[in-house]
């Protein structure tokens, strides 16, 4: 059974229209930010021997974001622009704090669109948001695997 976020995302991405033409202002060209980059503040923590804290913060980001995406999916599905704006804003802040810059930028676009007096359909942006979140999760899983000596984490 698909979660609400996966269902809205699947509906958003299901047409023949390529993803980049659905993302309104976002251009996934060569100037696009990386899916994830460890921010300077987290690098400093890591260098000071706080690797476990950095990992915990990244894990909290992933867990919290997944649940917030469920709320955002419902808001998009029901055209609840106030909730969509609030959730996109909250997710954006968390994303930027942990280095998910591209994901945060799509959140910013969704927040901006939801704030307009007459927003356009948020489904395409939500589909792009879900795709970007999955990309971040893949990058973070690969990072964790490489830091664990290349062995996959069987706890997830």
**Quick one: pLDDT band at residue 17, thresholds 50, 70, 90?**
very low
Which has the closest alpha carbon to 19: 132, 149, 142, 138? 132
**Number of C-alpha atoms within 13 angstroms, CB side, residue 16?**
0
118 phi/psi in degrees, rounded to 5: -130, 80
Q: What is the CA radius of gyration of the chain?
A: 16
Q: How far is CA 37 from CA 14, 95, 139, 147, in A?
A: 29, 11, 9, 15
Confidence of residue 108 (pLDDT cuts 50, 70, 90): very high
| Percent residues over pLDDT 70 in the chain | 74
């Amino acid at each position: 059974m698909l979660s609400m976020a996966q269902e809205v995302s699947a509906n958003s991405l299901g047409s023949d229209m390529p993803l980049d033409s659905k993302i309104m202002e976002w251009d996934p060209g060569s100037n696009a930010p990386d899916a994830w980059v460890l921010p300077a503040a987290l690098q400093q923590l890591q260098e000071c021997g706080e690797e476990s804290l950095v990992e915990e913060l990244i894990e909290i980001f992933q867990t919290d974001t997944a649940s917030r995406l469920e709320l955002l999916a419902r808001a998009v599905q029901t055209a609840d622009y106030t909730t969509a704006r609030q959730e996109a804003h909250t997710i954006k802040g968390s994303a930027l704090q942990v280095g998910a810059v591209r994901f945060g930028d799509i959140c910013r676009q969704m927040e901006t669109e939801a704030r307009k007096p007459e927003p356009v359909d948020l489904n395409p942006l939500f589909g792009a948001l879900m795709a970007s979140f999955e990309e971040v999760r893949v990058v973070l899983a690969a990072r964790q695997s490489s830091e664990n000596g290349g062995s996959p984490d069987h706890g997830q």
